[in-house]
Amino acid sequence: MLKFLTKQFLYGRFYLWLKERIGQILFLTIAVFLIIYFHSEYLNYVEYKSKFEGSYIGLSFIIKNLLIFIIAVGYFYFYFYLNKTKKSMARDQQFKKEKNTESKDEMVSSLDDFLDDEEL
C-alpha cells in the first residue's frame, strides 16, 4: 500500500513538473531532431555530390532542406507569437475582471444617495 501511494505521488509530481515544461521540452526535441537530420542530409549531399559531379542532385538537397528550414522557422515564429498573444489575452481578461469588481463596489443601492436632504 505504501509502495503504491509513493508511486502515485511520484507520478503526480512528475506530471505537474512536465505539464509546466512541455512546450520547452517539445521545442528542444524538435531542435535536436533538426540538427541530426540536417547533419545526415549534409553527409548524403557530400556523398552524392562526389559520385555525380555534373548532375543536379545536389541542388535538390539544397532546395529540400531550405524548404524544411523555412517551415520550421515559420512554425516556431507562430508558436512563440501565439504564446505571447495568449499571455496578453489572459492579462486583458484579468484587467477586465479587476475593473468589473471595482465598478461593482462603486454602485449605489438607490438613487436617494444623489439627492440632498432638502430635495427629499
Q: What is the pLDDT along the chain (120 residues), one digit of tens a residue?
A: 788 888 888 888 888 888 888 877 888 888 888 888 888 888 887 888 788 777 777 777 778 878 888 888 888 788 778 777 777 777 877 777 776 666 555 666 666 666 766 655
> Counting every residue, how long is the chain?
120
CB 18 within 8 A of CB 25: yes
30-36 long-range contacts (CB < 8 A, ≥24 apart) are 30/72, 34/68, 34/72
The whole-angstrom distance between residue 65's C-alpha and the CA centroid of its chain comes to 24
Q: What is the pLDDT of residue 2?
A: 80
Element (H, E) at 1: none
pTM over cut 0.85:
no
Q: Are 45 and 63 in contact (CB under 8 A)?
A: no
